[in-house]
Amino acid sequence: MTIHFHGSPIWGDKGRIARIAHRGSGAFVSFERPDQIKLAFDVADTVCIDNGAFSKWKSGKVQDWREFYFNFLPDWFDNPKLRFFVIPDDITGSAEDNDKLISQLPSDLKSKAAPVWHMHEPISRLISLCEKWDWVCMGSSGEFATVRSSKWKQRISEAFSAVKESQVDVKLHGLRMLDGRVLGNYPLNSADSTNLACNVPKYLAINKVVTIEACRRSIHKDKWIDTDDVKQAVDQCLSKGGSKSDILAERCAILKNCVESVKPPKISEWNSTNC
């Protein structure tokens, strides 16, 4: 079963939008933004905890991983909904740098830990991690940092070809890869993204057709939205008893369904020539 992890926090209507996003799905909560972690564990089917290295990389912030391991994780580690947490990693570091970070993992946390293979690292390291861990995360980095770029596609195809050839039994998670154009082409067991968190609020700018459909769904069936202009559709919806909260809720439900309807190929069926 493919697990779709929606990045948290997802704001809107006092947690209503987040509940729609996470119910029946997975929640991906960052150590850097744990605002809705309790909601995630209450509502989602399963939860992953990210170490926040991507935010650290973007901001240049220095992270003290002792805080992550000893003050943050223990509150959630024994929760049966925790699928795995991402072992602290250095997105711009070498394979040796990241192996050193793995070596600092407390042994009592190993059962729910998942290392990261960064795409600028040797593929041999990916196979080595796959042989030792139940879950391995794949992270876009270096010259392959832009997901779906031509270099990225070539590199991830090389990686999956190596995994398929090795016949190793592992579950692969795509960091920032919860995109139908990725998930539909590569044999990932799970993936995450903040697409819902970022795009649902932008109802006048992103996925305008979805907003118009959301307006139509958010009012009674005997009232009609008779325009294909997004601003006019919103105005008509509000004038007929709809609300912005209802529009956002319907947008979230539609976008969530679109993402989760995409299923990846099995590794045994996957062929790089089809990507």
pLDDT tier at 64, thresholds 50, 70, 90: confident
Average pLDDT estimate for 8-15 = 95
Q: Is 134 or 223 the better-scoring residue by pLDDT?
A: 134
What is the CATH superfamily name and number for domain 3-199? Phosphoenolpyruvate-binding domains (3.20.20.60)
Show the 3-state SS of the chain.
Answer: CCEEEEEECCCCHHHHHHHHHHECCEEEEECCECCCHHHHHHHECEEEEECCHHHHHHHCCCCCHHHHHHHHHHHCCCCCCEEEEECCCCCCCCHHHHHHHHHCCCHHHHHHEECEEECCCCHHHHHHHHHHCCEEEEECCHHHCCCCCHHHHHHHHHHHHHHHHHCCCCEEEECCCCCHHHHCCCCCCEEEECHHHHHCCCCCCCCHHHHHHHHHHCCCCCCCCCCCCHHHHHHHHHHCCCCHHHHHHHHHHHHHHHHHCCCCCCCCCCCHHHC
Say if residue 3's pLDDT is above 70.
yes
Higher pLDDT, 121 or 225: 121
Looking at residue 57, its pLDDT comes to 60
Q: How confident is the model at residue 62 (pLDDT cuts 50, 70, 90)?
A: low
pLDDT for 14 beyond 70: yes
Name the pLDDT band for 66 (thresholds 50, 70, 90).
Answer: very high
Mean pLDDT (the chain) is 94
Q: How confident is the model at residue 220 (pLDDT cuts 50, 70, 90)?
A: confident
Of 61-65, 159-163, 189-193, 266-270, the poorest mean pLDDT is in 61-65
Residue 216 has pLDDT above 70, yes or no: yes
Parse the chain into domains and list their residue ranges. Answer: 3-199
Share of the chain above pLDDT 90, in %: 90
